[in-house]
Structure 1
Amino acid sequence: MDWSMDAFLKRVYEDTEARVKLKREHLLPIERREQLRNALKRALGEFPEREHPLAAVLLDRTDYGGFMLERIAYTTMEAVHVPVLVLVPKAGTGPWPVVLACHGHGNGYYDAVGLDPAGAELGDPGIHNRFAVQLVRAGMLVVIPEIMGFGARRIAEELRTTPNYSSCGTLSAQLLMYGRTLAGMRVFEAMRAIDYISGREDADAERIGAFGFSGGSLIAAFASGLDERVKAAVLCGWTNTFKGSILAMHHCIDNYLPGILLSAEQPDLAGLIAPRSLFVESGEKDPLFPVEHVRQALSQLEETYAGWGASERFGYDIHPGSHEIAGDKSIPWLLRALSQGVKDMS
C-alpha cells in the first residue's frame, strides 16, 4: 500500500483544473481578465494605502562612463524605506523610455548592475548578466528598487547572522498572519516605484516598461497585470506552469499564493498583461522552470494574445542557457515596444 501523499495532490490539482475550466467557458477576454484580476488581488492579500508620500531623496550620483548611477531613497508606506538605484543614459536627452527592473533572488539590487556594495564592477556578471546596464546602454532609463527581503532590506537579526540568505521565509510566514503575502507587498512596492517613475522629469511616463528575472518576473508580471501604466513587459526565467515548476519541486515560499489555483494557472496570470506588449525569455536548460512547461505556457499566451487581436505584441526567446538572463533579443524588443506609439499599446 502506498502511504505517500502524491496521489492526493495530483487529484486535488486535476479536480481544481476541471472546475476552473468550467468557470471560464463562454467568457469574453475582457470578462476573463476582470475575473483573473480580482482573483490575483485576493491571492496577493491586502495592500497598504498608497497615499503615503514617497518623499524621494537623492543620496549620491556617480559617473560610470556610459551612464550615471543615482542612489535614491523613498518611502513606500509608513516606516518602510527603500533604497533604489537609477541608471540614467548619458547619450541623448530625456525624457527617456523608462524600465522598472526587478532583480531575482540573490544579494539585492546590485545584482542587476553587476556591482559590489562599494560600487565596484564584479568580474563575474552572474545570472543577472548586468541586465540593467544593458538596458541603460540601449537608451532606457532604469529604476531598480531593492526588493523587500533581499540585500539591506532583510530582518535585522538574519542580516547579522546569515548574511548570504534572504528573509523570504520569515517575512512570508509573518505576513500570512495578517492576511498578506510577501508577493503582495512586493507587487505593491513595484506599483509605488511606478508612482516614483511617473514623477521624474527625465522619464517618459507614457513609455514605462517592466523587466523581471526569476522571482523578479513574478513581481513584474503581477504588477504589470494590475497596473496599466506599464506598456510593455519582459519576463525572464519564470514563465511556466505552476504544475510544471512551483508544484513540481522546491521553490522559495514567496512563490506560493493562497487559493490562486482555484482561479488561474501561471500563464493565465501572465496573460493579464494582454493586449499590452509582452516578451518571454527562458533558458532551454533551466532546471527551475523546465522548458517543456515553458512551451506549454507560450502556447497558451499565444492563444490569449490572438484572442485580443494582438498577436504581434507577444514574442519570446528560448535561449540555449540555464536559469539566467540572455538579453540579446529581449532588450532590443523592449526598446522597440516602448518606442512605438503608445496609443495602440494600451
Structure 2
Amino acid sequence: MTPDDLKSLIRIPARERRAPIVRAAERSDEGDHVVERLIFDFGDGRPVRGLLTRPARASGRCPAVLYCHAHGNKYAIGASELLVGRPSLIGPYGPVLAKEGLVTLSVDMPTFGDRAESGENALAKAMLWRGATLMGLMLADLLAAFDHLAARADVDATRIATFGLSMGATHAYFLAALEPRVARTAHLCAYADLDSLIETGAHDLHGHYMTVPGLLAATSTGRIAGMVAPRRQLICTGDHDPLTPPDAVETAYRQTRAAYETAGAATALTRLSQPETGHQETPQMRRAVLDFLGAMR
C-alpha cells in the first residue's frame, strides 16, 4: 500500500498542500522557552487553535516535533496538553522539549479544545453518512500543521518528528506513514492489532474518530506502522493497558518488524514494553522518548 492508497482509504480530504494561513495571537517568554499561541486557517475559514513551544535562545534552524494530543474523553484539553499535560502523562512535554532544543507544535483536533462545540460521535456519524471520516479530517489538519512547521524559518524541515499518546499515538504513526518527510515517529499507549481487539471487544474503548470503513479489509495497524520504514520509530506500550494487550501488540509488531526487515532497517525500530503498566506514561517511556527525539539535534 502506498501513502496515496492509504489517504484514499481513510478518505483524507483533497487539499492543496501548502503552508496554512496562520496568525500569531499571543507570544509569551517563559525564561528558558517561548510559547506562541497561533490561529490557523486550514482552508475552510474556521479558526483552529495551535500552541507552539520553542527554545528561548536558539541559533539556526531547530529540529521540531508535531505533537499529536490525546483523547481520554477529556474534550476540553486538546492542544493545551502541550502546556498543561494530562493525567496519563508524567507532565507536559512542551517546555521540556523546548529546553532540549526542539520546536514543538500542537493543534486542536475537531471536537477538542477550542473546537469542542460539536460532539465526536455526532460529527463522526455525519461525516460517514456523507462519505467522509473524522479520522480523515483530523489527519488532513495535522498534515497542514506539518506543512506549517516545515515552512517556518526556525525549523529544519528535514528534522521533523511526530509524537503522541493514545489517540495522539495513532495519529503520530499514521502521519508518518502518510508523509515521507516525517523524519521519525514515537508513540505511547495505542499500538495494537485492531482485529485482535475486536475479538475481545476491547476495540470499543477507542473513540468513534477511528471508524474507517474497510480499513481492516485492506490493511492493518501493524502494516501501517510498517510503512514508516526505514525511518526510525519508537513504540511504547503497557501490558496492563486494555488498548495494548500483549497478544494484540505482538501481532501488530510482527507485521511492522517484517516491513523494517524487508527495508533493511531492523535497527531503526525500537519497542519498549512495560509489564506492570496500564494506559499511562512511565519514567522509562519518558526517558526513551526524550532520548529518541533529542537524537535529532
Give the TM-score normalised by structure 2: 0.89
Name the structure 1 match of 2:194.
242
Name the structure 1 match of 2:45.
79
Is residue 111 of structure 1 aligned with residue 81 of structure 2? Answer: yes
Q: 2:226 aligns with which of 268, 271, 292?
A: 271
Aligned length in residues = 285
Name the structure 1 match of 2:207.
252
Alignment partner of 2:195: what SS?
helix
1:92–1:53 distance in 2 versus 1, CA, 3 Å:
closer
RMSD: 1.9
Is residue 151 of structure 1 aligned with residue 103 of structure 2? Answer: no
Give the aligned residue type for 2:220.
E
- The alpha-carbon deviation at position 208 of structure 1 amounts to 0.7
Is residue 141 of structure 1 aligned with residue 100 of structure 2? Answer: no
- The alpha-carbon deviation at position 246 of structure 1 amounts to 5.4
Task: Tell me how far apart the structure 2 counterparts of residues 53 and 300 of structure 1 sit (CA, whole Å).
Answer: 34
Give the aligned residue type for 1:206.
T
- The alpha-carbon deviation at position 91 of structure 1 amounts to 4.6
For structure 2, which runs of at least 5 residues remain unmatched after alignment?
none
Name the structure 2 match of 1:198.
150
Alignment partner of 1:273: what SS?
coil
Name the structure 2 match of 1:335.
294
Alignment partner of 1:270: what SS?
helix
1:71, 1:84 within 8 Å by CA — same for their partners in 2? Answer: yes
2:194, 2:248 within 8 Å by CA — same for their partners in 1? Answer: no
2:19, 2:148 within 8 Å by CA — same for their partners in 1? Answer: no
1:322–1:91 distance in 2 versus 1, CA, 3 Å:
farther
- The alpha-carbon deviation at position 93 of structure 1 amounts to 2.3
Give the number of the structure whose alpha-carbon radius of gyration is greater. 1
Task: Tell me how far apart the structure 1 counterparts of residues 44 and 152 of structure 2 sit (CA, whole Å).
Answer: 22
Is residue 44 of structure 1 aligned with residue 14 of structure 2? Answer: no
Task: Tell me how far apart the structure 1 counterparts of residues 147 and 179 of structure 2 sit (CA, whole Å).
Answer: 11
1:111, 1:128 within 8 Å by CA — same for their partners in 2? Answer: no
Is residue 313 of structure 1 aligned with residue 265 of structure 2? Answer: no
Name the structure 2 match of 1:169.
121
- The alpha-carbon deviation at position 288 of structure 1 amounts to 2.1
Is residue 89 of structure 1 aligned with residue 55 of structure 2? Answer: yes
- The alpha-carbon deviation at position 39 of structure 1 amounts to 4.3
1:199–1:46 distance in 2 versus 1, CA, 3 Å:
closer
Task: Tell me how far apart the structure 1 counterparts of residues 198 and 156 of structure 2 sit (CA, whole Å).
Answer: 36
1:1-52 C-alpha deviation (Å, 9 max, x unpaired): xxxxxxxxxxxxxxxxxxxxxxxxxxxxxxxx43xx3542233114142267
Task: Tell me how far apart the structure 2 counterparts of residues 304 and 51 of structure 1 sit (CA, whole Å).
Answer: 28
For structure 1, which runs of at least 5 residues remain unmatched after alignment?
1-32, 116-124, 159-166, 340-346
Task: Tell me how far apart the structure 1 counterparts of residues 198 and 31 of structure 2 sit (CA, whole Å).
Answer: 41
- The alpha-carbon deviation at position 79 of structure 1 amounts to 2.4
- The alpha-carbon deviation at position 309 of structure 1 amounts to 0.2
Is residue 126 of structure 1 aligned with residue 99 of structure 2? Answer: no
Identity %: 24
1:188, 1:223 within 8 Å by CA — same for their partners in 2? Answer: no
